[in-house]
Amino acid sequence: EQQNILAMPLVKSFYQQLDTIFKQHREKTGQKCIDISLIEQHFPEFQFMGKTALDKWLKYFVDNGLLLKLNERKKQYTLPKTQV
């Protein structure tokens, strides 16, 4: 199912950019988990798309196993151990 999701060019591009952000953050801080604020800093275009646009994208990735949300209350994410 992940192959089908990432076959969509816009979804694949956004996910690849997220993957890069995760890797850079891990190299810089040693932390595997990132907060939504870091993602917002890298994608300012979500500010004019509506408040829930980024949340919906991230939820889509979580629902499809491409991201993990470690705590339901916190907007912190990590990549699954087996990446695409």
3-state helix, strand, coil in the chain (%, to 5): 60, 10, 35
pTM of the model: 0.83
Asked if 2 and 82 count as a contact pair (C-beta separation under 8 A), the reply is: no
- Residue 1 confidence (pLDDT) above 60: no
Per-residue pLDDT of 44-63, as tens digits, reads 888 888 778 999 999 999 99
Which of these ranges, 2-16, 52-66, 67-81, has the smallest mean pLDDT? 2-16
Per-residue pLDDT of 7-27, as tens digits, reads 889 989 999 999 999 999 999
